[in-house]
Chains A and B, each alone.
Chain A
């Protein structure tokens, strides 16, 4: 077929409108690159969010409660979760683990030991142990124990050390000192009271509350509880991805709220996802135009060689041969464009991986399979559209 195609090259000039063709090729290249970048950024994001190597960065615990608005102020019942609401939260796909936060229904007064002259009314809450970020073997309580292990929020000590103590000219206290201080804890129900020794075993960054073991909580609520079973107003969930837009939407839709700081990433992610989608969209639009120009180019070639094609067919050239010849003029170029785009993307991805690695974020050094699939898909699409155009116009002239 070679020598025949050499002769065809002299008859069917594919050189006309070469600048247009070149521009369409550049357009195709850019379109392909945009689409591939969109695919790769998407895959990188997924790797950052879900891959095992990065898991510890994202899995998180969220304490969820209803938003206190002016409308439900003063009606404590309205801020509690109804059982069906709790079931609904449990059923959400982003909830990996779910726990209720139980609050105390008895009065608590805590006094500092010795001559520190410090006493305050307080409350306790408890969560299932698996939700705690403090691991301590003292964290247990059995009926009859006189010592209650307590976990304080880290923020609490910070408030004291950097806010209160400085302004009141009081000494700052280290975590170790707080842990060493035996606190006098008096729990009561206005009728009887009991004194315990509170022992701070750790500080939690996760849950902003004064925590005691669940076993103590249930015992004390049973014995000193002043009200009947109190409804739950705070729950804690474990989620693999606190920035998941579905989670944020769920919270918004139901009027729930949580530590907004942990959701902040979600907004960033939404913005990045939007940008990536826009890039991909532009890529697709550009691809569409590139294909349009290619089609018009093919049409132009065939129309300008109409008489020659008719004579070729008259002399016995099969439409098959003409089509193969025409496609052969374009397809190698597409493959080159595809390979160049892939190489560029591989370079970009390598640089990205290196830069992210400096920030302890792991993404693949090589472009993902989606990128290769994307390349094949785009090239396949362009080939298919060209094939259709060539078929249509060669059949028209032959």
Chain B
């Protein structure tokens, strides 16, 4: 799956962003399939905005986001849903779990959204064990700590098939040890799918062996 951006520019940040140079904004960039992409961005430069544009849940931009050579607006709602179930997965910065569900139900929701789940329940248990969250799986997600929620959100994103994984500061609430474990799991799952990811973060890091670096 090919993701391309052409002259992408967020309308609300336009004036601010035009005053500084950027490797992404107002440029033509093509993310080649299967590559690990790191986008480093200081606060307030539209990091989350970019992820939302790439995932097509915000539309206030000029320029184009091309997915498989088709601009996002050309996809209808059901096609978009199919893309989000099969091709593209996301870890939101604000996690976005359902508070009325338990941790494992939050993961299962994504897992069984498609008629033929990609992962088995055992696989979920396995990933939970790897991230040290097995003991909270049956708890309501309302009662989880931020770090636990973040790991549940990571497992949820990995419970589906994808070509691209979008991550918006995915380790912001994790300690070093847990970050290392999560990164290893993500890298393994991406490799297993021959998938790439786009990760945005504030600082440089050594969690992955990145193929490409961009400065937002």
What is A's interface to B at a CB cutoff of 8 Å?
Answer: 1, 3-4, 7, 10-11, 308, 311, 313-321, 395, 398
Q: Mark B58-84, 1 if CB is under 8 A from A, else 0.
A: 000000000000000000011001111
Tell me, yes or no, whether B96 is within 8 Å of chain A by CB: yes
Q: Nearest chain-B residue to A2 (Cβ)?
A: B112
- Neighbour of B101 across the interface among A10, A314, A316, A395, CB < 8 A: A10
Tell me, yes or no, whether B105 is within 8 Å of chain A by CB: yes
Total contacts A to B, CB within 8 angstroms?
Answer: 55
- Chain A residues contacting B96 (CB-CB under 8 Å) are 311, 314-315
Distance A395 CA – B101 CA, assembled complex (angstroms): 24
Given A1-B115, A7-B108, A316-B85 contact (CB < 8 Å): yes
- Neighbour of A4 across the interface among B57, B83, B101, B112, CB < 8 A: B112
Distance A314 CA – B81 CA, assembled complex (angstroms): 8
- Chain A residues contacting B81 (CB-CB under 8 Å) are 313, 316-321
A–B pairs, 30, beta carbons within 8 Å = A3-B112, A4-B109, A4-B112, A4-B113, A7-B108, A7-B112, A10-B100, A10-B101, A11-B100, A11-B109, A308-B98, A311-B96, A314-B55, A315-B84, A315-B110, A315-B113, A316-B81, A316-B83, A316-B84, A316-B85, A316-B113, A316-B160, A317-B81, A317-B113, A318-B78, A318-B85, A320-B78, A320-B81, A321-B113, A398-B77
Distance A311 CA – B96 CA, assembled complex (angstroms): 8
- Chain B residues contacting A395 (CB-CB under 8 Å) are 77
A7→B101 contact, CB < 8 A: yes
DSSP class of B's interface residues: helix, strand, loop or mixed?
Answer: helix
Q: Which 3 A-B pairs rank lowest in CB-CB distance, beginning with the nearest?
A: A316-B84, A318-B81, A316-B85
- Chain A residues contacting B98 (CB-CB under 8 Å) are 11, 308, 311
Interface core residue of B57, B82, B112 (most chain A CB under 10 Å): B112
- Chain B residues contacting A315 (CB-CB under 8 Å) are 84, 96, 109-110, 113
- Chain B residues contacting A10 (CB-CB under 8 Å) are 100-101, 105
- Chain B residues contacting A320 (CB-CB under 8 Å) are 78, 81
- Chain B residues contacting A319 (CB-CB under 8 Å) are 77-78, 81
Interface core residue of B55, B82, B113, B160 (most chain A CB under 10 Å): B113
Distance A262 CA – B113 CA, assembled complex (angstroms): 72
Chain A nearest CB, measured from B102 CB (Å): 9
- Chain A residues contacting B112 (CB-CB under 8 Å) are 3-4, 7
A7→B105 contact, CB < 8 A: yes
- Chain A residues contacting B84 (CB-CB under 8 Å) are 314-316
Interface core residue of A7, A308, A316 (most chain B CB under 10 Å): A316
- Chain B residues contacting A321 (CB-CB under 8 Å) are 81, 113
Q: Nearest chain-A residue to B96 (Cβ)?
A: A311
Chain B nearest CB, measured from A397 CB (Å): 11
- Chain A residues contacting B77 (CB-CB under 8 Å) are 313, 318-319, 395, 398
Distance A1 CA – B116 CA, assembled complex (angstroms): 9
Q: Nearest chain-B residue to A310 (Cβ)?
A: B57
Distance A308 CA – B82 CA, assembled complex (angstroms): 19
- Chain B residues contacting A318 (CB-CB under 8 Å) are 77-78, 81-82, 85
Distance A391 CA – B100 CA, assembled complex (angstroms): 25
- Chain B residues contacting A11 (CB-CB under 8 Å) are 98, 100-101, 109
Distance A316 CA – B113 CA, assembled complex (angstroms): 8
Q: Nearest chain-A residue to B102 (Cβ)?
A: A10
Within 8 A of A (CB), among B89-113: 96, 98, 100-101, 105, 108-110, 112-113
Distance A10 CA – B83 CA, assembled complex (angstroms): 25
Q: Nearest chain-A residue to B52 (Cβ)?
A: A314
- Chain B residues contacting A7 (CB-CB under 8 Å) are 101, 105, 108-109, 112
Distance A398 CA – B76 CA, assembled complex (angstroms): 11
B57→A314 contact, CB < 8 A: yes
Chain B nearest CB, measured from A323 CB (Å): 10
Distance A27 CA – B55 CA, assembled complex (angstroms): 45
Q: Nearest chain-B residue to A5 (Cβ)?
A: B112
Q: Nearest chain-A residue to B85 (Cβ)?
A: A316
Q: Nearest chain-B residue to A318 (Cβ)?
A: B81
Chain B nearest CB, measured from A191 CB (Å): 104
Interface core residue of B81, B100, B108 (most chain A CB under 10 Å): B81
- Chain A residues contacting B100 (CB-CB under 8 Å) are 10-11
